[in-house]
């Protein structure tokens, strides 16, 4: 049985950093090396945890009955560049392999939407790598739509 609770730096930090390596565990663009991206994800997570501002962000963890972390979700406030209005931004969502396919991503996303509403935001945005088809399917099933696209051309 899993439950969601608020992140606690004193006991969760190392497990969240270690799990963040999974943020590189999907079909990557050919120019990206999985091991390098996984290491970068862990370093970026450590940096972000050091400057976590609870006034404009939220980090929750998914834990099992032994309090082992099986997932996390990080939200922040951002300003929509199109409307100049504040909105929620899903900066990270991550599940351990054994927690995937069980509806936990949906539960975390619905929690994110509830938090955004309580903050007075009228929207929530996120970025997803185009090759991460599983994540895209989850987001679309929850009503998320493509609003902007980033395109790239390799010049070598």
Residue-level pLDDT at 111: 94
Contact 68, 15 (CB under 8 A): yes
pLDDT band at 115 (very low <50, low <70, confident <90, very high): very high
- pLDDT score at 65: 77
Q: How far lies 99's CA from each of 24, 105, 147, 153, in Å? A: 16, 9, 29, 35
- Whether the full predicted model's pTM is greater than 0.85, yes or no, is yes
Query: What's residue 55's pLDDT?
Result: 62
Q: Which residue, 128, 123, 144, is CA-closest to 80?
A: 123
User: Considering the domain boundaries, does residue 146 fall inside one?
Assistant: no
- Give the pLDDT mean for 45-71: 85
Domain count, the chain: 1
Domain assignment of residue 111, given as a range: 3-141
The overall average pLDDT reported for the chain is 91
Q: What is the pLDDT of residue 156?
A: 82
Q: Is position 86 within any domain?
A: yes
Instruction: Determine, yes or no, domain membership for 81.
Output: yes
Is 151 within a domain?
Answer: no
pLDDT higher than threshold 80 for residue 122:
yes
Cα–Cα distance measured from residue 108 to residue 138, given in angstroms and rounded to the nearest whole number = 11
Instruction: Specify if 156 maps to a domain.
Output: no
* CATH assignment of the domain containing 44: 3.40.630.30
pLDDT attached to residue 53: 72
Tell me, yes or no, whether 34 lies in a domain. yes
Mean pLDDT along residues 46-67: 83
Average pLDDT over residues 111-137: 93
Q: Say if residue 72's pLDDT is above 80.
A: yes
Task: Produce one character per residue of 71-106: b if its CB has 16 or more CB atoms within 10 Å, e if not.
Answer: bbbbbbbbeeeeeeebbbbbbbbbbbeebeeeebbe
Q: Would you state the pLDDT for residue 131?
A: 87
Asked, for residue 149, whether it belongs to a domain, the answer is no
- Out of 14-23, 59-68, 102-111, least confident range: 59-68
- Torsion angle, CA of 7/10/15/16, rounded to 10 degrees? 40
State how far the alpha carbon of 25 is from the alpha carbons of 4, 21, 33, 50, 109, in Å.
Answer: 22, 8, 11, 24, 19
In a domain, 106, yes or no: yes
Q: Which of 38, 98, 93 is nearest to 68 (CA)?
A: 98
pLDDT computed for residue 10 by the predictor? 92
Q: How confident is the model at residue 56 (pLDDT cuts 50, 70, 90)?
A: low
**How much is the average pLDDT of 46-72?**
85
């Amino acid at each position: 049985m899993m439950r969601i609770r608020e992140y606690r730096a004193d006991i969760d930090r190392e497990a969240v950093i270690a799990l963040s390596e999974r943020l590189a565990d999907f079909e990557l663009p050919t120019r990206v090396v999985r091991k390098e991206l996984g290491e970068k994800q862990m370093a970026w997570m450590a940096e972000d945890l050091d400057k976590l501002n609870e006034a404009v962000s939220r980090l929750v963890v998914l834990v099992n009955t032994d309090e082992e972390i099986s997932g996390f979700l990080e939200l922040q406030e951002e300003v929509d560049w199109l409307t100049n209005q504040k909105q929620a931004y899903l900066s990270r969502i991550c599940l351990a392999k054994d927690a995937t396919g069980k509806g936990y991503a949906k539960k975390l996303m619905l929690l994110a939407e509830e938090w955004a509403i309580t903050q007075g935001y009228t929207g929530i945005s996120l970025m997803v790598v185009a090759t991460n088809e599983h994540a895209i399917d989850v987001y679309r099933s929850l009503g998320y739509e493509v609003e902007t696209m980033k395109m790239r051309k390799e010049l070598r």
